[in-house]
Structure 1
């Protein structure tokens, strides 16, 4: 490829539109025309991409973040105004920093006792424009990040099996651009970078037999009764869950952009099947009512129930398109999307935009719809103060699932659900974050079940237990210099829980830190030392292991997080203030010994007295290790409170002692900092 024809990229940072935030950097001047360089290139300005860029920049790497659209933030700034998270104690890290800044924005602007602060629900609910403002502020504070908007991916250059550069087209100027970096992060929803790099990937649904997943393949599933329906075969195929746009709407007349005439491409025949849904009760109240799931009693048994409304600040609503009616018109419109070129993708964007605006117009104006329903629908419109450069319509298409990497491990339904008599889900030694959202797949086919309850492929909010995500699902099997936090290595069923923006933000944080460590330690992405990475994540408030009985304020919290990835605990109860039993002590010491390749740390001839492990027993182990490694461990650093050596030692105390020994001794390499 001839680099001489490329146009020089400015070394100045981007001025973010609409935010008043400027990120100006003058590092990494291009070495030749049209060529730009960074330590790390993050491709895709999704929430995961943003957090990857921030995490890497804070570690000291110079980062370029590129995005196809003219705005950052993916779905979080394009209508998905509520955080898809059921358990707020399970996901923290940079996501928690984001929600904290959202809360701070509403508090500063409206006062802590205001209705808007109440509606933002501690920062987990927000207007799209506020989410964009917060993201831009977070990036603008990082001198090591430059943002390149309107950059269309064209080619990936490879040097043997390593990604060495990416060719873009500047969508504003039409110029070709070339970006070189030491490490690349594919944070696109589509998995475009790893696909162009030649990595293997999956597309569509696995069959039930491939991974022995209960909900895999062709399925009719009763979302109310959580049971399979007649016609389920479990066969795999290449179909995808439906894509839609996520809307922001308002009931404020002064801020309403009214669709006064049919939108482009309008055809009422796209929506007439909804009349059968209304008549047959599929637009009625849900069997189980849950706050924040878009349920409003006034909408039940009306045509407005083709949408799901969730209230957010400033008289606005996060509006999803309800996938439960059989008239849902979006299924199948996306099958070709992942493998299409950009021109075809733009046509698919436009088709879904027309279907979405058409649905709004239909519900508000079609004369066959009862007048009371139309009047109810006419209370809600697109807000004038959102998406002001796109006719108040979201920028980002809701790509629920596209390509999925074939990585060093494939996460399956069996990893994210309790198996047999197990009291917690699969424990991974290389865990990097906790997931927790229900399995939730939009319909995959327009074929209804035989009893007309549901469209094929819909798995609606199937509740699961918190689960661990291993680092290996982010790592391609062969392609080097690349990490993948979004279109990661999972089955279709597992992806239906992983695909949530709060979790992706956390995985993006992992990707950014790992990319930095890869270049700092001069190791491949696959060889980044996992305990070292985990220790950094714990310091940065990431949740690796979820427990029902642990508080962040507990002195042993960090240690228990770490050992929870190594097999210390077989349930969601850590019981840090309970006495450690001899059986658990032997298990823990065995795990510690195997992990550190140390021997002889259990005192010779030691036997428990009445199955009670004493403080002095732990002290003996510590002293033996101190002799061989030259480190001193202050008892006050791992005891909850000072006690006599004959006192029983607590579980949390032993976790702290072993964690400190692990981190501060020469047993773990590289040395922790």
Structure 2
């Protein structure tokens, strides 16, 4: 086999290590049980946010300080006998030991002691001892001991004691082999437009394209639609749709809008998950795939020919072929996998000529929020001390009953894609640490209040931006430039976050609280050329990953504006199919057709 030039010595070592492990265990009986695939997840939740890093979802005991109901499943073994158990988990807050303690119970017998408090950061396999399987069907139970976000990725039962591969490449190969991912993959069929990402932008793109007669697949990696505007994240919609240069644009955004409950409302129903689902289910031309994370693309003649998604719970894979694809993931995932040109971080003043740009190019991005809310209760309740969380004191704490957007981590010192789990966990350490201080030191105000909700899905602001034929700049926005392909009208301020000064004083390098300076702008338009890739011919994009500079992104990123981008993409896909062209061809040869639709 001829190896690619980029294969490094480290990769070869990993590859050969996995091969050696596979040969050593070839004659052994093995059973891989993915925690997220448990028959009954109980009070545990499924988290897929780190899929790009660990190539898997996992179960997490998100009890806000109270142990959650056991997760249970029945595992079917090929044969009875003595097996060695390995448990893949991590200590998410090793300061020096974290709180995510849990037990693994097989047929009523706890094995391996307590997991999740090793004091070692990072995902690892931990040995859980021997277990005698006397019946081919065995009950497995994950028992949470703290309610503080213990997590389990997988269990491996093997008649060999050989340690499973600890690296991500080896784990990916292990999953592919023992779960037979290739052999069980299904074909979803061919679509005119495959929309990846079911936030407001992706949902709008799917609805408009479907109403124009296109056959659409809408793929979302969570069980609900709406993205940051869902009950899982609870960010309210921003940006105006009634100040349009094209007044009819924004009608689908208005359909999805369930009102304004503010950020972090304790009642998740306020964010209209069912409203969004009803709208999608009504469209006969849309096939909806929830809980499906797209992690692979197939290319043909520089175009995307197919994307492959894995169900975040069952691990079953589905392949989608399409004529056009729209990346509405926020992270620019499809574009990245396809090799699309992208940027991440801040450009310099020299590069863009923007007065608000950084002095030097860097990796700084806006952060991620995990919102939370408390509610009053009838009697005084307690909350544990949290020595593993961020430390708060009389001198510095945040005295509020419900969070807002300012609870934000990232700010360039952490990568919002590769370190999404660490960012979310830092937010949790801030939330729990502050709440523990309030409960234990301000009993008069907080004694009869309890945490009602804490987001475990991060609300991202910024990651990759996919480059199109036009890159929107600060000057485009502030000068109100009206390009021939002007489509979406945007109204939000240039809103670039940075760590709050006081927060930086008490938590230097570990900030979790943000400030901003709103730079107001008159309504301006976003060119259609910002909504398709400049080097992947059949790729559209809509949402916070469109073609802008970092500064311009500060204004375009809000969800009503992103939803209108999706509407334009749905129309452009129709024009492209009708005229047998691609997204660029719509601009070059059929722009009037598109603009007529945008106006009407």
TM-score tier (shorter)? 0.5 to 0.7
1:105-120, aligned counterparts within 5 Å?
none
Instruction: Tell me which of 484, 495, 508 is aligned to 1:440.
Output: 495
Instruction: Tell me which of 366, 370, 385 is aligned to 1:245.
Output: 370
Kindly indicate whether residue 325 of structure 2 is the aligned counterpart of residue 173 of structure 1. no
Distance 1:534 1:174, change over 3 A: same
Kindly indicate whether residue 418 of structure 2 is the aligned counterpart of residue 351 of structure 1. no
Deviation at 1:521, TM superposition (A): 1.5
Deviation at 1:181, TM superposition (A): 0.8
Structure 1: distance between partners of 2:304 and 2:381: 47
The structure that has the greater radius of gyration is 1
Structure 1: distance between partners of 2:599 and 2:381: 49
Structure 1: distance between partners of 2:449 and 2:566: 35
| 2:326–2:541 Cα contact (<8 Å) kept | yes
Q: Deviations over 1:440-490 (max 9, x none)?
A: 12226989899x999899542221221110011112111011101120111
Structure 1: distance between partners of 2:394 and 2:518: 25
Instruction: Tell me which of 58, 64, 71 is aligned to 2:211.
Output: 58
Structure 2: distance between partners of 1:208 and 1:277: 36
Corresponding residue SS for 2:566: helix
Structure 2: distance between partners of 1:332 and 1:267: 25
Distance 1:351 1:101, change over 3 A: closer
| 2:381–2:448 Cα contact (<8 Å) kept | no
Kindly indicate whether residue 269 of structure 2 is the aligned counterpart of residue 129 of structure 1. yes
Greater strand share, structure number:
2
Residue 597 of structure 2 is matched in structure 1 by 536
| 1:410–1:473 Cα contact (<8 Å) kept | yes
Residue 208 of structure 1 is matched in structure 2 by 349
Residue 413 of structure 1 is matched in structure 2 by 474
Residue 41 of structure 1 is matched in structure 2 by 194
Deviation at 1:165, TM superposition (A): 0.4
Instruction: Tell me which of 371, 390, 396 is aligned to 1:270.
Output: 390
1:526-605, aligned counterparts within 5 Å?
526-528=584-586, 529-539=590-600
Residue 82 of structure 1 is matched in structure 2 by 236
| 1:304–1:376 Cα contact (<8 Å) kept | no
| 2:468–2:533 Cα contact (<8 Å) kept | yes
Deviation at 1:354, TM superposition (A): 2.2
Q: Deviations over 1:597-632 (max 9, x none)?
A: xxxxxxxxxxxxxxxxxxxxxxxxxxxxxxxxxxxx
Residue 483 of structure 2 is matched in structure 1 by 428
| 1:271–1:362 Cα contact (<8 Å) kept | no
Structure 1: distance between partners of 2:572 and 2:467: 19
Distance 1:235 1:134, change over 3 A: same
Structure 2: distance between partners of 1:304 and 1:457: 15
| 2:416–2:462 Cα contact (<8 Å) kept | no
Corresponding residue SS for 2:565: helix
Instruction: Show structure 2 runs of 5+ residues with no match.
Output: 1-183
Name the TM-score, length of structure 1 as normaliser.
0.54
Instruction: Tell me which of 404, 414, 423 is aligned to 1:320.
Output: 404
Residue 416 of structure 2 is matched in structure 1 by 337
Q: Deviations over 1:390-412 (max 9, x none)?
A: xx444642110000112111101
| 1:191–1:404 Cα contact (<8 Å) kept | yes
Structure 1: distance between partners of 2:241 and 2:433: 33
Distance 1:86 1:481, change over 3 A: closer
Deviation at 1:259, TM superposition (A): 8.5
Residue 49 of structure 2 is matched in structure 1 by none
Distance 1:446 1:429, change over 3 A: same
Q: Deviations over 1:62-101 (max 9, x none)?
A: 1111111121110111344532236743496574455457
| 1:190–1:403 Cα contact (<8 Å) kept | yes
Structure 2: distance between partners of 1:399 and 1:216: 21
Kindly indicate whether residue 578 of structure 2 is the aligned counterpart of residue 520 of structure 1. yes
Q: Deviations over 1:512-563 (max 9, x none)?
A: 1112221222111111122211111111xxxxxxxxxxxxxxxxxxxxxxxx
Corresponding residue SS for 1:510: helix
Structure 2: distance between partners of 1:195 and 1:538: 32
Kindly indicate whether residue 324 of structure 2 is the aligned counterpart of residue 183 of structure 1. yes
1:136-175, aligned counterparts within 5 Å?
136-175=277-316
Distance 1:380 1:526, change over 3 A: farther
Q: Deviations over 1:152-177 (max 9, x none)?
A: 22211110210100112122221222
Distance 1:92 1:364, change over 3 A: farther
Corresponding residue SS for 2:460: coil
Deviation at 1:215, TM superposition (A): 1.1
Residue 439 of structure 2 is matched in structure 1 by 365
Corresponding residue SS for 1:270: coil
Instruction: Tell me which of 473, 477, 485 is aligned to 2:542.
Output: 485
C-alpha root-mean-square deviation of aligned residues, in Å?
Answer: 3.7
**Deviates further, 495-504 or 350-359:** 350-359
